[in-house]
Amino acid sequence: MGLTHPQYLVMLALWEHQRLSVKELSGLLQLEPGTLSPLLKRLEAADLIRRERDLRDERLLAVTVTPAGHTAASTQPT
């Protein structure tokens, strides 16, 4: 899959939690949102995640794993 260590940590968190806001993900991984944003853009470009506005609060950006991202989870060592 060719992920960097920080990208892999993002994917691990999303595989476990399924859907997180950028703020929640930032807190969970102890990464600043400004650091996290480029990681998420690269993962989204690779079709592993999807970023979308939360339906309940459009100020929040929700991150979810795509079907390709779920498939990638099964190829990772445990």
Sketch the domain layout of the chain as residue ranges.
Answer: 5-73
CB 10 within 8 A of CB 40: yes
Cα–Cα distances (Å) from 63 to 66, 77, 78, in that order, read 10, 23, 23
pLDDT band of residue 78 (cuts 50, 70, 90) is low
Q: Tell me, what's the pLDDT at 1?
A: 58
CATH fold for the domain made of 5-73:
Arc Repressor Mutant, subunit A (1.10.10)
Q: What pLDDT, on the 0 to 100 scale, is given for residue 8?
A: 93
- pLDDT tens-digit map of 8-61: 999 999 999 999 999 999 999 999 989 999 999 999 999 999 999 988 888 888
